[in-house]
Every structure is written in structure tokens, then in C-alpha cells.
Amino acid sequence: MKQWMQKLMNQFDLDWKHEDSSKANPIEMKEEVATILYLIDVYNKNLLDIDNHPVRRTRETLDEFAREIMQSEGPQFERALFRFRQFFSSYRIDEYTFMSKSFDEFRNIIWDFVDQLSEDLHFEKSADEDMKKSLEQLKEAVEANSIDLLKSQSRLFIDSYMEHQTVKDKHRGDRLKNIKKNLDAVKKQLNEANSSMRLDHLTQAFNRKSFDEQIRQQKSLHHLSKKPLSMIALDIDHFKKINDSYGHQTGDLILIECVRLLKEVFSRESDFVARVGGEEFAILLPECSFDHALKKAEQALDRIRGEVYVVDDIKISFTVSMGIAELTEGEDVESWMKRADEALYQSKNSGRNKYTLAEPCLKKSAA
């Protein structure tokens, strides 16, 4: 079996057997089936919480499809694929609708803001035109050499000017209030959109997109400062079994609590805790030596081991596995992440509930 397929099975704990009890060996996974499971897994880790497809329910559905596709053969397999295609098509339509609606709502706020500014500018232009006409009439009165006309036009101009300034000042005050109100609404919308884009909706850890941006930024800063930079790749042990045994709601609780505990241990402002997959996390530790990263990893392991949760009178605990790697001078991001990932899977394959130090980077890449 290819390495990536074995890694997928290890990640999912795919130990399903044939329904035929006479076949004792696990199902041999074909590469095309593994590819489908891989795509389901990737999508499962990046779900949006949309109206018709809440994340928890969608995750359960995708897990059921993965299990059915893995276990079925022949016509049953074809039917499973057909139903999966139908579900995926429906989900993508609703996902696109959700994104379009979110964009339209934000666009409408901006349009209202633009319309308000346009109305204000039009009003001021009209008021200024009226004032310009009044001024022209006053000039004509001066040139007419008539004291009565000059007195009359002077009074009209002064009244018009005072009214113009009063209305203008009032309108300016109202406009500033409206602009501030609209700007506050836009700012709030942008902040919400930014948080939604940067944070994982469930755990409030940073999401994969934020992690990909942060790791490259930290790599650049490391190149300039030469200060140590460490990373911990982390995975919740037997997470699929937790979901299968206690339900996705309990699984979500474990994910949330895992992030809470990690943030307690990795509490510096510069520490960066991200959820990069379903039950996979990564922690970036700027200006943190390898030895200090090991101590923090031990603290995190002890902290997580000591937690027990009671769900429906059942005591539940969990552990994590880790891989720790310090960035080597001249090493690229891909190599650094790969070393941490390989160390993580060494922890998982050698008993879990532990950390493993990454192999040193022997071949330096271009900075």
C-alpha cells in the first residue's frame, strides 16, 4: 500500500472489516477509493456553517459516505457514489448561495454608503448653485447704481446666506452622523469578515489559511533576526473513535477544549495556535529555542492528560501526539513542515500520547 494511503488509514483509524465474517483481513483499499476518501477528508476539514448544512451534520454525513464507500463493492458501491455525487452537488450549490448572500449583504452596505455620499454631494452642489445666483443678483444691484435695489438685494442676499449657512451646518452635522454610522457598520462587517476568514469557526484557533500566511511571515522574520523559531505539529489521538463512540457533539467539545488547553500553555502573545485540519493542529513559537519548545510540549501533554470531561455521566479524556521541529537556517517552509509532520506520525505510530523530535535538516535549501 502506498505511503499516502497508509497515512490516510492511520489518520482515520480505518480498520473496518468485510461484512462477510469469513474474511478476516481488513479491506484492501484501492487507490481510486483512497482518492475519494482523501477528497472527502479534505472537504470535511474545511466546511462552512451554512443554513441548510450545519457543520456537525455535514461532517456526520460525509463520515457515513466515507464508511459506506470503503465497505461496499459492486452495485452497492455505485449507488453510494451516486448518492455522494447528489449530496456534494447540493452542498456546493448551497455553499455558493451562502457565499453570494454574504457578499451581497456586504455590497449593499457599501452601496448605501456610496448613495448617502452622492446625495450629500448633490445637495451641496445645488445649495452652492443657489448661493451663486444670489451673489450674482447682488453684483447686478451694485452695478445698477440704484440704492433701493442695492438695499433690497443686500437684505435678500444676507437672509439667503444666513439660511444657506444654517442649513449647510445642520446638513453637515447630520451627514457626519450618517457617515460615522455607515463607517461603523462597514468596519464591523469587515472585522467580522476578517475574523471569519482568519479563525476556525468552532475552536476559535487560527485556521489553515492564517497558518499558511503566518508561517511564511515568521520564516521571513527568522531570516532577518536569526532568532530561533520552533513548530509543534499536533494531532488528537483516536479522534475518530471519540466521534464514533460518543457522537460529533462530544468530538466538537474535545476540539474546543484542546484549543483552550493549548492556549493556556502557549500563552505568549506571539505564540500561534492553529487548527490546520479536522483534529490536526500546529503551533508556531517565535523566538523559542528547541529546548524551550520541548518543555512547553511536555507541559501541554501533562495538562491535556490531566483533564477529564463528564458527558451524559460518562467520563471522557483524550491525549495528543506531537512532532517538534526547529527551523534550520536556510531551510524552506515545506521542508520544515515535513520534518514536523514526520515526527508527529512517528509519535502516532510508536504508541501516541507523546512527542517526537524531528530529524535534523541535513540538506539546506535556498533561503
pLDDT tens-digit profile of 63-119? 888 888 877 888 888 998 999 999 888 888 888 887 777 677 667 766 766 676 676
Q: How far apart are CA 351 and CA 127, in angstroms?
A: 80
- Neighbour count for residue 71 (Cβ, 10 Å): 15
**Helix or strand or coil: residue 329?**
coil
Q: How far apart are CA 174 and CA 160, in angstroms?
A: 21
Look at residue 289 and tell me whether its pLDDT is greater than 80.
yes
**323 vs 72: which has the higher pLDDT:** 323
Instruction: Report residue 35's pLDDT band, with 50, 70 and 90 as the boundaries.
Output: confident
Domain ranges (residues) in the chain:
3-71, 104-198, 208-357
The grid cell for 30 is 484501492
Question: Residue 355, by phi and psi: left (phi above 0), alpha (psi -120 to 50) or beta?
Answer: beta
Residue 194 is predicted with a pLDDT of 59
Q: Is the CA virtual torsion 27, 32, 35, 40 positive or negative?
A: negative
Residue in the structure block whose three cell numbers are 477544549: 257
Q: How far apart are CA 140 and CA 41, in angstroms?
A: 82
Reported as a single tens digit per residue, the pLDDT across 134-144 is 777 767 777 77
Look at residue 365 and tell me whether its pLDDT is greater than 50.
no
**Helix or strand or coil: residue 109?**
helix
Q: Is 322 exposed, middle or buried (0-12, 13-18, 19+ CB in 10 A)?
A: buried
Look at residue 181 and tell me whether its pLDDT is greater than 80.
no
Instruction: Report residue 20's pLDDT band, with 50, 70 and 90 as the boundaries.
Output: very low
Q: How is residue 51 annotated by DSSP?
A: T
Return the percentage of the chain with pLDDT > 70, whole number.
Answer: 80
Look at residue 348 and tell me whether its pLDDT is greater than 50.
yes
The CA radius of gyration of the chain, in Å to the nearest whole number, is: 32
Strand 229-236's sheet: what is its strand order? Answer: 272-275, 280-286, 229-236, 320-326, 355-357
Look at residue 22 and tell me whether its pLDDT is greater than 50.
no
Residue 366 is predicted with a pLDDT of 38
Residue 293 is predicted with a pLDDT of 94
Residue 196 is predicted with a pLDDT of 61
Largest CA distance in the chain: 119
**For the structural domain made of 208-357, what CATH number should be given?**
3.30.70.270
Reported as a single tens digit per residue, the pLDDT across 223-273 is 888 999 999 999 999 998 998 899 888 999 999 999 999 999 999 999 999
- Neighbour count for residue 333 (Cβ, 10 Å): 16
Q: List all residues 6 or more positions away from 17 whose beta carbon is below 8 Å from its beta carbon.
A: 23, 24, 26, 27
Instruction: Report residue 341's pLDDT band, with 50, 70 and 90 as the boundaries.
Output: very high
Give 145-206 as a DSSP string.
Answer: T-HHHHHHHHHHHHHHHHHHHHHHHHHHHHHHHHHHHHHHHHHHHHHHHHHHHHB-TTT-SB
Pairing of β 314-316 and β 355-357 = unpaired
